[in-house]
Structures are given as C-alpha cells and as structure tokens.
Amino acid sequence: MEKDVCLCAGERLSDDVPAGGQARLTKLVKNAGCASKIPPADLQRVLSRLPAITDPRLLVGSATADDAGVFQTSADLCLVQTVDVFTPSVDDPYTFGRIAAYNSLSDVYAMGGRPITALSIIGYPIHTLGDDWMYQMIKGGMDALQEAEVILVGGHSINDEEIKFGFAVTGVIDPKAVITNSGAQPGDVLILTKPIGTGVIAFAAQMGRAGEEAQRAAAASMTALNRAASEVMVKMGAHACTDVTGFGLLGHLYQMVRESRVGAEIWWNSIPLLEGTADYASNGMVSGAAERNREYAAEIVEAADDVPEYALDILYDPQTSGGLLFSVPGETLDEVLAELSAAGCAEAAVIGRISDDSRGRILVTNHPTQVNQGRRKKRPNAAPVAERQGHEPQQTVPAEQEPCCEGGTLHETDVSAESAFQRFMSTALGPGALDVIQKELTTIALSVAIQCEPCLKLHLKKALSMGITTEEIQEAAWMGVAFGGCKAMMFWNEQSRLLETISSEAASNK
Ligand code: CO
Ligand code: CO
Ligand code: CO
C-alpha cells in the first residue's frame, strides 16, 4: 500500500523511476494529450444534429471524418485546413510545444498536402504558472514549424485554468492528388509508420509509473515529423490514408473501413509498439479515453482467441502525434517499405490488410508468420523475446511484492498464478453487459467496500479521465460504504480528500 500499487487491479510493483527534477505538465491536467478529446460517440451525437455544409468547392468536409478539410480555390489548387488543440502529453513545456505542432501538421500530411502557414492557439493559467513555460511551449512549436518550413502567421491566447496548445494549419494540394480515408480497396495492405503506445505511456507517467526510457522513446516518436512518410505514401499511390491520433489505431481504422465500405484484418503480432507499452497496459495503465474509443468502434471489431485482452487496450489507445496509417496495393508492399526505410521511417510496418468483408468488420488476429521480422530495426532495450511472442509482457516479480488487500495470497515466486490472475482481472473488468462507465463506478464502490487505497486512487483517476463526474463517484463510493459498514465509512471519509485533490490538481498544483 505504501508503494501506491494496486495488486488487486492487476498492477505490479516496479522499480521504474518517474522522471523528476523537471516540470510535470501532465500532472496539471485531467487528461493528457489527445486523451483530452471529447469521446467520439458523444461528438458524433452532437455533430449529427448540425446541418450539413454543401458547396461544390468543398471537396472534403466534416461529413466523412477525414483528417482535414479540402477546399478548391482554382482548377489546380486546393487549400487543406485543420486545427488541433490539446492538453500536455509530456512534462517538458518545450517538447510539448513541438509535439503540438507536429500533431497539427500531421493532418495535412495525412491528406497528401503540403502545409504552408499556421496560427497558434494557447490556453494558459498565466497568473499561477508565470510566463516561462508559455514561452517554452510557443518556442517549441515555432521550432517544429520551422523544421517543416511552415510560417507562423499569428495566434490567439486564453487565460485558462488548464494548459492547452495547438495550431490551425493551412496547406496546399493539387485537387487530383487528394488522399482521403475513403479509398481503401480489398487487396490493399495496411502500413503504419510509427509505433503505438503514447497514451499508455502518458497515463503510466501520470500515475508515476513510467520508466524514463519509455518516456524518452514516446517523446522521440511524437516529435518525428510525418512529412517524409506522407511523401512516400503520395509517391506510391496510396488509396487511403489517415493519421493515428486520439481515437486510437482501431478508432481511426474504423473510420477508414466505414468510409471505404470495406473490411480489414489487423495482425497484433505485427504492430510496432513503443517500449514499455505492453508491460504498462497489461498492468492496467489504460486511460479512460481508450475505453471510450473501444465503446465507439467495438461494434465492428472482432478479436481472435489468441489475442490478449490488453492488446485491444493498446489498439484503442489514444495516440498523440501518431504515425500515418495508409493502404496501398499489395503488390507494391516491398517497394513501399524500402522507400519508407530510406526516408527514415525505421519503425514503419505492414500491420494488416483490407478485406472485402461486406459487413465491414475489423478482425484482430495474429499473423501466422511474423511479417515484419528482420525488417524492423531493433530498438535499444527492447525485449526481443517478448516481441517474438507477440508482445507478451515480462513476467518478473520484484522481491518486495506484497498484496495490497487483506486475504491476498500471491507469493513472490508464483509468476504463473499472478499472470493467470491478471488475465482473470482483465476479463472481469472488460466491457460486457455493463458498459465501461458502469464498470468503472462499480470498481470505486468495491474499492471503498474493501478499503483498498491504491485501488481507489487508480480508479478515481481513471473515472475522472473518462468524464465521470465527482457527484457520480461520490454516489458510487457511498454504495461501497453502505455495504462495507463503519470501517468503510471511516475509510471513505479519509479518502474522499483524494477525489478533491485529483479533480482539482490543475488549480492547486504549481
Ligand atoms: Co488526423
Ligand atoms: Co486532428
Ligand atoms: Co482572437
């Protein structure tokens, strides 16, 4: 308990040292990075009530869930326009500024366009945080724009409680060269140009559980420009493209599959992952936004039996400044991968294929042979054995492990019992007849009833990140008190401070 670990929720002790000694931007916000987006199902409910915009010059509007709007200004020129604003996904303000710019530019690259100008949008608590971080953020953004040869033409600022930053970007493209998310065809293969895991790592960092190496790898991935990948995909005649951001790999693939009226097959053992992602996700480090993405796309996703539950958590993980996901004719695959590797996209991989499934399903399965083996560059400190077995997390148990709840029976060396217990936990906690919100509220009631402090802390954080209100949490906690009796009431009276602290971290934390 002292170590703030919830073994009941499948967490394990680790000796990862949280990055210290520098600004902890991610601690100041409820939802880090693209996880701060409004959940897709909620967004769709609102957008569907608004009138459709039709104009012959609007080649790509908001109706098709594409990355950017495309507006034709003359016979051979279109504007490609997009805006992206989000909360900090890393702790360093300069790096966050760069990531915000890369992320915004990415939507223009995903359409095959060339970004030329940008406007900045910043929300910042200037009176509580002082101006240096704001300077760092904007400087980071400007440096990234300069790298992309994009001119910053102005911006807008809001004195806000929570830090937010992003850009509206304008690009240009030939009307005949526009690549949308609706052109995927059966026989195409799916290419992903960056590894997955930025959301899992950001959430683990918020819980003080992410290793420094993993955070560095995530930051490096988020600050890699999608320009070179975009040039390759245009040159190789991609049929469809999108960038992988807030809705996660499966959420964005869902949009591509739906708009293209096709199906798809994804190979879990071929998905490139950022270091630490499998470990953290299999230990419950999954943000509430991933659960909301699952809610959005789950109706068309089917997973094979040998695909572990946490794999889906990762495939729904919201990405910040993720890679491009594009479909190209199968016969061009070798050439595309060679071009990507020459362009510096060392981790680009073929991760699946487009099928002619008339029901528009996405099947998640393991490819019988590892298609990317030997193609993918070895990452330092990656666990090669784990990768070959399809991202099995390492099952090492530190010596000082002790169960956090009364009656726990785990033994230091009983690795298989622990992993079996974790599998059971993820099945029990996964969505079923109860939706993810109901399940999350249940975990809070139970954490209070059994008086498990680490469980409660993790689930309060997760519930708030899913958009559950403090009133709903209070009500669930009192259910726990009702069944846990006097001891549970004493426990909740003490612990309800935790709820206030977590929900008002932005205001109280400097
Ligand atoms: Co996008
Ligand atoms: Co966007
Ligand atoms: Co203004």
- Whether residue 37 contacts residue 86, with contact meaning beta carbons closer than 8 Å, is answered with yes
Contact yes or no for 294/436 (Cβ under 8 A): yes
Residue 507 has pLDDT above 60, yes or no: no
Q: How far is the CA of 153 from the centre of ligand 3 (A)?
A: 13
Tens of pLDDT along 396-455? 433 333 333 333 334 444 556 766 776 677 677 766 777 778 888 999 999 999 988 888
Q: How many helices (H) and strands (E) does the chain have?
A: 18, 13
Active site residues: 34
pLDDT score for 94: 95
Secondary structure class of 326 (helix, strand, coil):
strand
pLDDT confidence bin for 14, thresholds 50/70/90: very low
Cα angle at 150 between 148 and 155, to 5 degrees?
130
| 371 has a pLDDT exceeding 70 | no
Q: pLDDT at residue 140 above 90?
A: yes
- Cα-to-centroid distance, 129 and ligand 3 (Å): 22
- Per-residue pLDDT, 36: 64
Range with lowest mean pLDDT among 37-46, 181-190, 227-236, 246-255: 37-46
Tell me the average pLDDT across 478-505: 85
The candidate with the shortest Cα–Cα distance to 392, out of 449, 308, 322, is: 308
> Sheet holding 164-173: strands in order across?
58-60, 69-74, 77-86, 164-173, 114-124, 151-159
Q: Decide: 209 and 289 in contact? Cβ < 8 Å.
A: no
Q: Distance between CA 64 and CA 255 in Å, rounded?
A: 8
Q: Pick from 284, 120, 265: which is nearest to 204 by CA? A: 284
- Which bound ligand lies closest to the C-alpha atom of 154? 3
Question: CB under 8 Å to 284, separation ≥6 — which residues?
Answer: 6, 9, 10, 11, 425, 426, 458
| DSSP sequence for 33-83 | BGGGSPPHHHHHHHHTTSPPP--TTEEE-GGGT-SSEEEEEETTEEEEEEE
Query: What pLDDT, on a 0 to 100 scale, did the predictor assign at position 437?
Result: 82
What is the number of the ligand closest to the CA of 169? 2
What distance in angstroms lies between residue 73's CA and the mean position of ligand 3's atoms?
25
Angle, helices 333-342 vs 227-235, to 10°: value is 150
Tens of pLDDT, residues 50-102: 998 899 999 999 888 889 999 999 999 999 999 999 888 788 999 999 999 99
Ligand positioned closest to the Cα atom of 158: 3
Q: What is the 83 CA–ligand 1 centroid distance (Å)?
A: 10
pLDDT tens sequence across 329-363: 999 999 999 999 999 999 999 999 999 987 899 99
Q: What pLDDT, on a 0 to 100 scale, did the predictor assign at position 481? A: 92
Token output for 457: 């802390």
In percent, how much of the chain has pLDDT > 70? 81
CA angle 271, 275, 276 (to 5 degrees): 105
Please work out, in degrees rounded to the nearest 5, the angle formed at the alpha carbon of residue 459 by the alpha carbons of 454 and 462: 130
CB 229 within 8 A of CB 340: yes
Structure confidence at residue 293 (pLDDT): 87
pLDDT surpasses 90 at 206: no
Distance from the CA of 166 to the center of ligand 3, in angstroms?
A: 14
Distance 152 CA to ligand 3 centre (A): 15
Are 40 and 132 in contact by the 8 Å Cβ rule? The answer is: no
Using the predicted structure, report yes or no on whether residue 382 has a pLDDT greater than 50: no
Count of beta carbons in the 10 Å neighbourhood of residue 212: 13
Output the six-digit token pair for 115: 């970004």
pLDDT, average across residues 244-265 = 95
CA distances from 73 to 158, 409, 462 (A): 32, 69, 46
Beta bridge partners of 463: none
Least confident of 27-41, 134-148, 281-295, 455-469: 27-41
Which one of the ligands is nearest to 122 CA? 3
What per-residue confidence (pLDDT) applies to 384?
39
Ligand 2 midpoint to CA 506 (Å): 25
**Checking DSSP bridges between strand 240-243 and strand 263-267, what pairing results, if any?**
unpaired
pLDDT value at position 419? 66
Are the C-beta atoms of residues 312 and 283 closer than 8 Å to each other? no
pLDDT of amino acid 33: 59
Q: Which pLDDT band, with edges at 50, 70 and 90, does 505 fall under?
A: low
Say whether pTM exceeds 0.75.
no
In angstroms, what is the span from residue 42 Cα to ligand 1's centroid?
A: 18
CB atoms within 10 A of CB 498: 15
- Identify the nearest ligand to the CA of 121 by its number: 3
What b-and-e string marks burial along 439-459, b requiring 16 or more CB atoms within 10 Å of the CB? Answer: bbbbbbbbbbbbbbbbbbbbb
Q: How high is the pLDDT of residue 447?
A: 92
Ligand 3 center to 160 CA (angstroms): 14
Counting ligands in written order, the one closest to the CA of 168 is: 2
For tokens 């539950």, the residue is 309
Instruction: State the Cα–Cα distance between residues 488 and 469, nearest whole angstrom.
Output: 21
Q: What DSSP line would sit under 116-164, residue for residue?
A: EEEEEEEEE-HHHH-SHHHHHHHHHHHHHHHHTT-EEEEEEEEE-SS-E
In Å, the largest CA–CA distance within the chain is 75
CA angle (310, 315, 321) in 5-degree steps: 130
Strands 77-86 and 69-74: antiparallel
What is the pairing mode between strands 114-124 and 240-243?
unpaired
Quote the ligand 1 centre to 173 CA distance (angstroms).
17
Residue 377 has pLDDT above 90, yes or no: no
Burial level of 130, CB count in 10 A (0-12/13-18/19+)? exposed
